[in-house]
């Protein structure tokens, strides 16, 4: 087994290079995932063009830091789990090495008011994004799916991939979730600060 991992690194706008990184051992609660499929999102296209302002006009606005390993629409197989033989999936069921997963595109901080009160992870005030705000200058570097392996930080929501679902379809999980959420928000005509009731 190789002790290095190849990754397509976006060094700067318009510049991709293959680099080698040490294959990391995951810290407790982290997961090392062998990437089997990674999509190319519109966000990746904008980042390649140098359009690096993310979430413009929102409280989460930030600039992309290069170099980075893009890819936040990912499917893979758990290679190793730090400090344990299993880790819970999004429904609390144990995942083990060899299980196929889709990791969330983001990792919540676990300590803001939203995280502490069990809001969905995307409400997090300090949300970090794989293949985006988590750049490859931060060890262990492998924070995007355009690599042979991806390092998933503790607290990353993990979704089990059903047997029989092809990787190229499972990779659309994030895209479909965002689309459904946007459609729901549009259908309810909700606006920031408004209230809604459900029965």
Per-residue pLDDT 10s for the chain (199 aa) are 579 999 999 999 999 999 999 999 999 999 999 999 999 988 899 999 999 888 788 777 888 899 999 999 999 999 999 999 999 999 999 999 999 999 999 999 999 999 999 888 778 889 899 998 899 999 999 999 999 999 999 999 999 999 999 999 999 887 666 555 544 445 555 555 566 555 4
Alpha-carbon distances of 23 from 40, 111, 145, 152, 198, rounded to whole Å? 23, 29, 14, 13, 47
Instruction: State the pLDDT at residue 21.
Output: 98
pTM here is 0.85
Predicted confidence at residue 113, as pLDDT, reads 94
Q: How many residues belong to the chain?
A: 199
pLDDT tens-digit readout, 91-128: 999 999 999 999 999 999 999 999 999 888 778 889 89
Q: Which H helix or E strand runs over 7?
A: strand 4-12
Dig out the tokens for 180 from the structure: 């459904």
From CA 169, how far away is CA 172, in angstroms rounded?
Answer: 5
pLDDT of residue 196: 58
Q: Output the pLDDT for position 182.
A: 46
Closest C-alpha to 151, from 30, 52, 66, 46: 30
- In three-state secondary structure terms, 10 is strand
Bridge-based pairing state of the strands 62-63 and 94-96: unpaired
Structure tokens at 102: 């889709």
Note the pLDDT of residue 173: 80
- Taking the CA atoms of the chain, what radius of gyration do you get in angstroms? 17
**Residue 184 has what pLDDT?**
47
Could you give the CA distance from residue 28 to residue 71 in angstroms, rounded to a whole number?
24
The position carrying tokens 């397509």 is 8
Domains of the chain: 11-186 (3.90.180.10)
The H helix count followed by the E strand count for the chain is 4, 13
């Amino acid at each position: 087994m190789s002790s290095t991992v190849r990754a397509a690194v976006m060094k700067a706008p318009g510049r991709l290079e293959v680099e080698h990184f040490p294959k990391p051992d995951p810290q407790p609660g982290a997961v090392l995932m062998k990437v089997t499929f990674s999509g190319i999102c519109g966000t990746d296209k904008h980042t390649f063009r140098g359009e690096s302002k993310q979430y413009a006009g929102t409280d989460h606005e930030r600039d992309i830091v290069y170099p980075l390993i893009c890819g936040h629409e990912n499917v893979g197989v758990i290679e190793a789990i730090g400090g344990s033989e299993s880790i819970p999936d999004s429904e609390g069921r144990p995942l083990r090495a060899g299980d196929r997963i889709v990791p969330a595109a983001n990792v919540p901080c676990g300590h803001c008011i939203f995280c502490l009160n069990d809001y969905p992870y995307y409400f997090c005030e300090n949300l970090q994004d794989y293949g985006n705000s988590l750049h490859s200058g931060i060890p262990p570097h492998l924070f995007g799916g355009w690599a042979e392996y991806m390092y998933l930080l503790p607290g990353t929501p993990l979704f089990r991939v059903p047997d029989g679902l092809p990787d190229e379809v499972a990779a659309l999980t994030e895209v479909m979730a965002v689309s459904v959420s946007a459609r729901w928000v549009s259908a309810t005509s909700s606006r920031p600060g408004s209230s809604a009731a459900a029965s």
